[in-house]
């Protein structure tokens, strides 16, 4: 097991401290397996957070959803961003028509949108930083839209995992 290795890849410094092989038996690296499990747990936490809001436990709801959002930002920085830079970005201009890359590219774009919308919601809901004209009025609609978008991205992430690590073994 490597402890910590800092190397340059595609103009980015990549911190890798995961062992090479994963633990789900799919041929995926450890980081991809860990990310899949963490993302599924976070998806469950988002549903639990929505239930908290439904029961009018808004402070717990906000804490739950914000924690998931920030943990996801960490996973993007540690696993998904470097993986995209290493495996997808170099091939985009040449092979975007191949489903192997299409699934990852679409997942990445929707994931960025979901993360940005989530950050916007947290800023609007938890601070007074933005002027009134930049703040949304229909809380339920925006939060439900974010939950649906996150669910789509989560399913897309599972699809990406399957395309990258399960399909090659068939």
Looking up tokens 């997942």 gives: 107
Task: Quote the pLDDT of residue 20.
Answer: 67
Residue 105 to residue 103: CA distance in whole angstroms: 6
| CA dist 42 → 22, 25, 54, 120 (Å) | 20, 22, 18, 19
Largest CA distance in the chain: 54
Task: Quote the pLDDT of residue 113.
Answer: 97
| Domain boundary assignment for the chain | 5-16+29-84+91-169
Long-range contacts of 60-65 (CB under 8 A, 24+ apart): 62/125, 62/126, 65/118, 65/122
Task: Quote the pLDDT of residue 96.
Answer: 61
Task: Quote the pLDDT of residue 6.
Answer: 42
Q: Which residues of the chain have pLDDT under 70?
A: 1-20, 90, 93, 95-97, 168-170
How would you label 12-44 residue by residue, b for 16+ Cβ within 10 Å and e otherwise?
eebebebeeebeeebebbbbbbbbbebbeebbe
Task: Quote the pLDDT of residue 11.
Answer: 39
Task: Quote the pLDDT of residue 149.
Answer: 97
Task: Quote the pLDDT of residue 97.
Answer: 67
Task: Quote the pLDDT of residue 170.
Answer: 53
Task: Quote the pLDDT of residue 18.
Answer: 53
């Amino acid at each position: 097991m490597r402890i910590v290795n800092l190397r340059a890849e595609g103009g980015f410094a990549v911190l890798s401290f995961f062992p090479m092989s994963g633990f789900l038996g799919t041929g995926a690296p450890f980081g991809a397996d860990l990310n899949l499990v963490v993302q599924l747990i976070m998806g469950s936490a988002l549903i639990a957070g929505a239930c908290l809001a439904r029961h009018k436990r808004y402070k717990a709801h906000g804490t739950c959803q914000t924690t998931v959002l920030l943990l996801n930002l960490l996973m993007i920085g540690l696993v998904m961003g470097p993986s995209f830079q290493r495996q997808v970005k170099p091939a985009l201009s040449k092979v975007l028509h191949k489903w192997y890359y299409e699934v990852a590219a679409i997942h990445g774009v929707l994931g960025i949108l979901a993360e940005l919308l989530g950050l916007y919601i947290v800023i609007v809901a938890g601070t007074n930083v933005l002027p009134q004209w930049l703040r949304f009025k229909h809380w339920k609609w925006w939060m439900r839209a974010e939950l649906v978008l996150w669910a789509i991205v989560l399913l897309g992430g599972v699809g990406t995992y399957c395309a990258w690590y399960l399909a090659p073994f068939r």
